[in-house]
Structure 1
Amino acid sequence: MTTTVRITWDAASARRARRQFLTGPATTGTPVAEVVGAMLGAHAQVFSAAELSVGMRTDAATRADVRAALWDERTLIKTYGPRGTVHLLPARELPLFSAALSAVPTGPSPFPPDVRLTEEQAGQVVTAIGDALDGRCLTLDELSEEVVARTGPWAGDRVMPAFQDLWPRWRQVMHRAGWAGALCFGPNRGRKATYTRPLPGGPGKATYTRPLPGGPEAGPGDALAAFVHRYLHTYGPATPQYFARWLAAPSGWATALFGELAAAGRIEEVLFEGTPAWVAAGDTDFPQGPPRGVRLLPYFDAYVIAGQPRERLFPGAAYERALGGGQAGNYPVLLVDGVVAGVWHQRRRGRRTTVTVEPLVRLTARQERELGEQVERAGEVLEATPELVVGEVTVGPHA
């Protein structure tokens, strides 16, 4: 008779922290792309937050190292990742992300019928984007002209509400072009972002100014199985609902996918705090938790976005203080022993930055020393001289 493995929250959070370089930072010489891969991507809508997410997981890397990996070494790529949001991804893993994310079903369109694209139109736009960007870097306006010329005037209709403005219709599927490997960010042209095509000809045939490391081509089923395995390795134990929330995917689809992988022996059921959950098959070795130590994590850090159950990660007062309307990532957070125990904010002025930290628990003398070390490390990452202020954070989310 098989005995179901029982896993506590402390053990799970200890393993998650260890596998993401939060228990011990990556040592000098560890490639930046390896750190990003361990997180399953760094959220990069606010690029300085991505620099901090990566740098705070290392003992020496700075924002310059992250930028060099992205623009010079080409070991990172900036594109649309999970949830259709901008991420840094390891370039060599882009074929896997592209195949897996393209296989995730999209939910109902949030736009009214006269605004949304049909699936046929969406496919035309994605193809047009890839063709327009093949071997070129274009600004958004230049890309828009190319897409309209290659599809039709309907693609350029300014009907899509966004930030007190109206965007052209085709931009509804910009993230899907990223998932398909037809689009990624290129180097800025002055103050304007540019876009280029990272995977001409499809996954495994990557060229991006200079060749990117490629990867074997995989079918959607193989890619999804590998993707779930990577997710469970980093964030397991997890339920299909946790996985669906991380991807902004339909819950029923995720439940069916986990059922198929379980039937094939690819994943294994465990009891996580008494609730059925899943890990990759055979991956049931967990440390004794909780993870010890103090960490500062920026906006939308991978650990807090994917960490579930959320009420365990944001215990007590942290659930109200550090979540914006129940959404993780709106505030930079203070982690104490693997759980959110405060918020913080940094305000930069020239070469100096003031880091205000609002703890929600009483810190021990050791934890106060570790907080000071984390602030110093944040200054190193941002290439600024930091000053620590312990007190109330008065700014709101996304400030």
Structure 2
Amino acid sequence: MTVTVTWDEASARRLERQFLDRPAGVGTPVADVVGAMLGAHAQVLSAAEVSVGVRASGVTRADVRTALWDERSLVKTFGPRGTVHLLPAAELPLWCGALSAIPTGPSPFPPDVRVTEEQAERIVAAIGDALDGVCLTVEELGEEVVAGTGPWAGDLVMPAFQDLWPRWRQVMHRAGQSGALCFGPNRGRKVTYTRPRGVDPVPGAGSGQAGQGALRELVRRYLRAYGPATPQYFAKWLAAPVGWAVALFGELARAGEVEEVSFEGAAAWVAAGDTGFPGGRVRGVRLLPYFDAYAIAAQPRESLFPGKAYRRALAGGQAGNYPVLLVEGVVAGVWHQRRRGRRATVTVETVGRRLTARQERELGEQVERVGEVLEATAELVVGEVTVGPHA
């Protein structure tokens, strides 16, 4: 008999497994929290710090930075969707194996700009050799890549931010996903890169047995964190081809590694045997920053962003562009914080509902917690958020 799952049940389990129902206890390793999220988006490091901090009691941005730069239990690199993430260092071989097994789509660049597959693999190998045991700025790394491949890699042909970047930079994300590159500590205001410890770079996106095994494990972890889900949701989360994801889920179903359930009247999948769900919805208020893992991965979007929230808190249907207010597991507003020295003003705009007195108290507590994470004193202002996405 097919298990039936409601949105409230799925939402409650996801929030529980994300430490958004109840924060992880004091002393829980930061890397364990990031692992449960399947990575913290870190294009803006302060957003990643808030993502982790609201999920772990007592954790501040200093604790996240200590885990990243001192303890090295976290690594900052290119993760899902080719975007910058914090990932647990101990899980990096799994991530590199899985991400390198995902087929690459067509290049977005014109023929005279793009690199061939053979050139891409040469660039990745040159990056890994150049960064072994050192930290280099992008300019220094570029010199090493050109020396290790040829002048063609340094041709200024790649449009970027009203400038032209050298050809080799279009595969930097592949170098990160293959284990040849990660971020190092800043040198002054300059970003540096290094080669992560304990990972042998995967030369290219392949179909080797190790890579396929890592990919299957990543699917299982994704379903445990964000299931029930469909192949289409999984493909969107990874920015991978939908047809490939459908075929992959079919293989896993035939192998008995995933199990079909009825989710809000439609077929979806969970990891095999993982069919237990809590009853009822999660109560409470939460503040999630830009590109929080939960807001991006939890599907369907129409249920997570109901009614007016879909128009207000998404940008063209894409999640993550605005920090969001969660009320009882669904998006009910957006927010923005402005830092001035040791003080932060957090403006919260509700959408489509009025908060109860209890929820207003909880919102105040959440604002206070965001301030603690950022090591600032936070003040709540309820009103319109006038800044646009990515502000």
State the TM-score bracket (shorter-chain normalisation).
Answer: over 0.9
Asked if 2 retains the 8 angstrom alpha-carbon contact of 1:156 and 1:170, the reply is yes
Counterpart amino acid of residue 175 in structure 2: A
After superposition, the Cα gap between the structure-2 partners of 1:131 and 1:203, relative to the gap in structure 1 and judged at 3 Å, is closer
Q: Establish whether residue 283 from structure 1 lines up as the match of residue 274 from structure 2.
A: yes
Asked if 1 retains the 8 angstrom alpha-carbon contact of 2:92 and 2:199, the reply is no
Alignment of 1:174-193 (within 5 A): 174-193=172-191
| CA distance in 2 between partners of 1:28 and 1:277 (Å) | 35
| CA distance in 1 between partners of 2:34 and 2:198 (Å) | 23
Equivalent of residue 375 in structure 1, options 367, 377, 381: 367
Alignment of 1:149-164 (within 5 A): 149-164=147-162
Equivalent of residue 106 in structure 2, options 108, 120, 144: 108
Asked if 2 retains the 8 angstrom alpha-carbon contact of 1:130 and 1:183, the reply is yes
| CA distance in 1 between partners of 2:196 and 2:101 (Å) | 19
Q: Establish whether residue 390 from structure 1 lines up as the match of residue 388 from structure 2.
A: no
Where 1:278 maps in the other structure, the secondary structure is strand
Q: Establish whether residue 303 from structure 1 lines up as the match of residue 301 from structure 2.
A: no
| CA distance in 1 between partners of 2:222 and 2:116 (Å) | 31
Q: Establish whether residue 268 from structure 1 lines up as the match of residue 266 from structure 2.
A: no
Gaps of 5+ in 1: 205-216
Deviation at 1:199, TM superposition (A): 4.3
User: Aligned residue for 1:346?
Assistant: 337
User: Aligned residue for 1:214?
Assistant: none
Deviation at 1:137, TM superposition (A): 0.6
Asked if 2 retains the 8 angstrom alpha-carbon contact of 1:160 and 1:167, the reply is yes
Q: CA RMSD in A?
A: 1.2
Equivalent of residue 234 in structure 1, options 209, 221, 225: 225
Where 1:348 maps in the other structure, the secondary structure is strand
Question: Given the two structures, how large is their TM-score scaled by the length of structure 1?
Answer: 0.95
Deviation at 1:218, TM superposition (A): 7.0
Where 1:112 maps in the other structure, the secondary structure is coil
User: Aligned residue for 1:356?
Assistant: 347
Deviation at 1:221, TM superposition (A): 1.6
Equivalent of residue 139 in structure 2, options 133, 138, 141: 141
Counterpart amino acid of residue 104 in structure 2: T
Where 1:219 maps in the other structure, the secondary structure is helix
Counterpart amino acid of residue 370 in structure 1: E
User: Aligned residue for 1:47?
Assistant: 45
Counterpart amino acid of residue 342 in structure 1: G
| CA distance in 1 between partners of 2:166 and 2:10 (Å) | 44
Where 1:269 maps in the other structure, the secondary structure is strand
User: Aligned residue for 1:334?
Assistant: 325
| CA distance in 1 between partners of 2:219 and 2:289 (Å) | 25
| CA distance in 2 between partners of 1:273 and 1:53 (Å) | 28
| CA distance in 1 between partners of 2:24 and 2:133 (Å) | 35
Deviation at 1:163, TM superposition (A): 1.1
| CA distance in 1 between partners of 2:124 and 2:348 (Å) | 44
User: Aligned residue for 1:247?
Assistant: 238
| CA distance in 2 between partners of 1:271 and 1:107 (Å) | 31
After superposition, the Cα gap between the structure-2 partners of 1:303 and 1:136, relative to the gap in structure 1 and judged at 3 Å, is same
| CA distance in 2 between partners of 1:168 and 1:337 (Å) | 48
| CA distance in 2 between partners of 1:27 and 1:199 (Å) | 29
| CA distance in 1 between partners of 2:137 and 2:266 (Å) | 49
Q: Establish whether residue 166 from structure 1 lines up as the match of residue 164 from structure 2.
A: yes
Mean Cα deviation higher: 77-86 or 159-168: 159-168
User: Aligned residue for 2:214?
Assistant: 223
Q: Deviations over 1:262-290 (max 9, x none)?
A: 00000000111011000000000001131
Asked if 1 retains the 8 angstrom alpha-carbon contact of 2:290 and 2:320, the reply is yes
Runs of 4+ in 1 over 2 A off after TM superposition: none
Deviation at 1:39, TM superposition (A): 0.1
| CA distance in 1 between partners of 2:210 and 2:233 (Å) | 24
**What percent identity do the matched residue pairs reach?**
78
User: Aligned residue for 2:205?
Assistant: none
| CA distance in 1 between partners of 2:103 and 2:81 (Å) | 12
Counterpart amino acid of residue 390 in structure 1: V
User: Aligned residue for 1:77?
Assistant: 75
Asked if 2 retains the 8 angstrom alpha-carbon contact of 1:99 and 1:218, the reply is no
Counterpart amino acid of residue 272 in structure 1: F
Gaps of 5+ in 2: 203-207
Q: Deviations over 1:336-389 (max 9, x none)?
A: 011100000000000000000001110000000000000000000000011100
Asked if 2 retains the 8 angstrom alpha-carbon contact of 1:12 and 1:289, the reply is no
Where 1:13 maps in the other structure, the secondary structure is helix
Deviation at 1:59, TM superposition (A): 1.5
Counterpart amino acid of residue 245 in structure 1: K
| CA distance in 1 between partners of 2:196 and 2:69 (Å) | 13
Counterpart amino acid of residue 138 in structure 2: L
Q: Deviations over 1:30-62 (max 9, x none)?
A: 000000000000000010000000001112100
Where 2:97 maps in the other structure, the secondary structure is helix
| CA distance in 2 between partners of 1:156 and 1:80 (Å) | 21
Where 2:159 maps in the other structure, the secondary structure is strand
